[in-house]
């Protein structure tokens, strides 16, 4: 089944630095969503970007979508120790209802 | 607004035993999902319900897994008999008809020995 692939698989940065992670997918999508998962907890929705959008912001988060390259990026600016988590992209295909297909995630460690 | 509730939070069983997980979605959410998340991987959808009807169960191993959502509210996911490879976190999520965002519960961590 179609799946997003995140890159890098792991990322370690200092507090205050920016963190960028990428997601690539294979087929046309309706929308792409980013989720965060803290250790031992469920997933929390961060942001949704539709196929006709190119960029969205939410607080310190910036998401871009390039449908020609079938890729998306998530930028976390001025990272904090609390941003330490795994970040997943999930795609929703056209005519697939609301079915999310997740990638393998990027594990981000923000060192104080 | 109360979130998605799941129980138990942790379960340890031996292979070939059976286990059941329970999920209570956010009030008013018509769609309920069960995901399996193996360590180090992203969640994989097992089954999706719309009210009490199954929308998608294409990735549910039906020889051992079953799920139901009676009355279109709570749901249970059962594994019988369990295998070692079923060790994972089982996540329940729900969404409303008007929004595409899914809200996840804390998950049930299953260890099969």
> Does the bond joining B8 to the residue before it have cis omega, within 30 degrees of 0?
yes
* Nearest Cβ partner for B104 among A31, A43, A101: A43
Lowest mean pLDDT among A2-11, B23-32, B66-75: A2-11
Q: Please indicate whether, in this complex, the C-beta atoms of B104 and A100 are within 8 angstroms of each other.
A: no
Instruction: Summarize pLDDT for B6-33 with one digit per residue, the tens.
Output: 999 999 999 999 999 999 999 999 999 9
Judged against a pLDDT cut of 70, whether residue B50 lies above it is answered with yes
* Nearest Cβ partner for A42 among B41, B59, B107: B107
State whether the Cα torsion B50-B55-B57-B62 is positive or negative.
Answer: positive
For residue B62, CA distances in Å to B1, B66, B96 come to: 34, 6, 27
Which residues of chain B make contact with A44, given a CB cutoff of 8 A? Answer: 104
Judged against a pLDDT cut of 60, whether residue A42 lies above it is answered with yes
Question: How far apart are the C-alpha atoms of A18 and A33, rounded to whole Å?
Answer: 20
Nearest Cα to Cα of residue B89 among B19, B13, B26, B11: B11
Judged against a pLDDT cut of 80, whether residue B3 lies above it is answered with yes
Structure tokens at B5: 């509730």
Please count the other Cβ atoms lying within 10 Å of the Cβ belonging to residue B17: 14
For residue B100, CA distances in Å to A31, A38, B63, B83, B95 come to: 9, 22, 31, 33, 7
Search chain A and give the residue with CA nearest B39.
A104
Name residues 46-85 of chain A within 8 A of B (Cβ): 48
Name residues 87-106 of chain A within 8 A of B (Cβ): 88, 90, 92, 97-105
Give the closest-approach CA distance of A64 to chain B in angstroms. Answer: 18
Which residues of chain A make contact with B105, given a CB cutoff of 8 A? Answer: 42
Instruction: Identify whether the C-beta of residue A27 lies closer than 8 Å to the C-beta of residue A2.
Output: yes
Longest dimension (CA), chain A: 44
Instruction: Identify whether the C-beta of residue A88 lies closer than 8 Å to the C-beta of residue B42.
Output: yes
For residue A63, CA distances in Å to A24, B52, B73 come to: 13, 35, 34
DSSP A64-83: EEETTTTEEEEEE-S--GGG
Give the model's confidence band at B71: pLDDT under 50 very low, under 70 low, under 90 confident, else very high. Answer: confident
Q: Please indicate whether, in this complex, the C-beta atoms of B106 and A42 are within 8 angstroms of each other.
A: yes
Of A30, A36, A43, which to mutate for an interface test with B (greatest number of B Cβ within 10 Å)? A43
* Token pair 């792991």 in the structure block, residue: A10
Name residues 4-33 of chain A within 8 A of B (Cβ): 31, 33
Judged against a pLDDT cut of 70, whether residue A1 lies above it is answered with no
């Amino acid at each position: 089944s179609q799946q997003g692939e995140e890159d890098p698989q792991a990322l370690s940065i200092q507090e205050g630095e920016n963190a960028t992670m990428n997601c690539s997918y294979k087929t046309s999508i309706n929308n792409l969503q980013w989720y965060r998962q803290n250790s031992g907890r469920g997933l929390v929705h961060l942001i949704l970007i539709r196929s006709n959008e190119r960029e969205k912001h939410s607080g310190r988060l910036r998401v871009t979508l390039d449908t020609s390259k079938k890729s998306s990026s998530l930028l976390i600016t001025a990272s904090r120790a609390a941003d330490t988590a795994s970040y997943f992209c999930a795609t929703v295909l056209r005519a697939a209802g609301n079915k999310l297909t997740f990638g393998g995630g990027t594990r981000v460690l923000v060192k104080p | 607004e109360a979130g998605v509730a799941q129980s138990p939070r942790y379960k340890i069983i031996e292979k070939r035993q059976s286990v059941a997980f329970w999920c209570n979605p956010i009030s008013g959410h018509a769609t309920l999902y069960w995901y399996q998340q193996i360590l180090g991987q992203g969640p994989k959808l097992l089954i999706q319900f719309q009210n009490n009807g199954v929308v998608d169960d294409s990735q549910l191993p039906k020889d051992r897994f079953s799920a139901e959502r009676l009355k279109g509210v709570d749901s249970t996911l059962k594994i019988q008999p369990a295998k070692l490879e079923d060790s994972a976190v089982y996540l329940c999520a729900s969404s409303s008809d008007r929004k595409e965002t899914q809200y996840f519960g804390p998950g049930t961590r299953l260890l099969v020995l």
